[in-house]
Amino acid sequence: MKNLKKMLVVAIVVGLMGAAGAAYAAAAKTPAEIVSDLTGKTTSELYQERSAGKTYGAIVNEAGKLEQFRTQMLKQKKIILDQRVSEGRLTQEQADNIYKTIQSRQANCDGTGNAGMCGNYGAGFGKGRGFGMGNGMGRQ
């Protein structure tokens, strides 16, 4: 009976974690998805433009939507930071500091992707490159 209770508790915890992850995944968008929404281009078209050397910022700037892109990217970064705080991977203070840095650097961002202007905080904060599998402290 004790093992059954333990298994039930584990199943509930795993289910709750899965639901939280699904809610996060539903809320977060990739930069390509944001640009697609703003420009009407497909993500395939955008990936081709990126392969040719254009930044997402340059693509939306050409469409006259750079400010909307920056606003939406900032929202996405906030979602990611909040998720990392809830997972215990960042403290709220660390997340607040990262967010303030992103805000200040983004004010000077002109869409060229210049790291000196736009900072070292990408949409996934290093997640996806495979080296740390997104487990860093918010820096690429």
pLDDT digits (tens, 9 = 90+) for 43-64: 999 999 999 999 999 999 999 9
Average pLDDT, the chain: 76
| In the block, residue with structure tokens 């497909």 | 42
> With DSSP H G I counted as helix, E B as strand and the rest as coil, what are the percentages for the chain, rounded to 5?
65, 0, 35
pTM of the model: 0.62
Is residue 105 scored above 60 in pLDDT?
yes
| In the chain, % of residues over pLDDT 70 | 61
35 closest CA partner among 58, 17, 10: 58
| In the chain, % of residues over pLDDT 90 | 48
Residue that wins the pLDDT comparison between 35 and 129: 35
Is residue 11 scored above 50 in pLDDT?
yes
Is residue 1 scored above 80 in pLDDT?
no
Question: What tens digit of pLDDT does each residue of 13-48 get?
Answer: 556 555 444 444 457 889 999 999 999 999 999 999
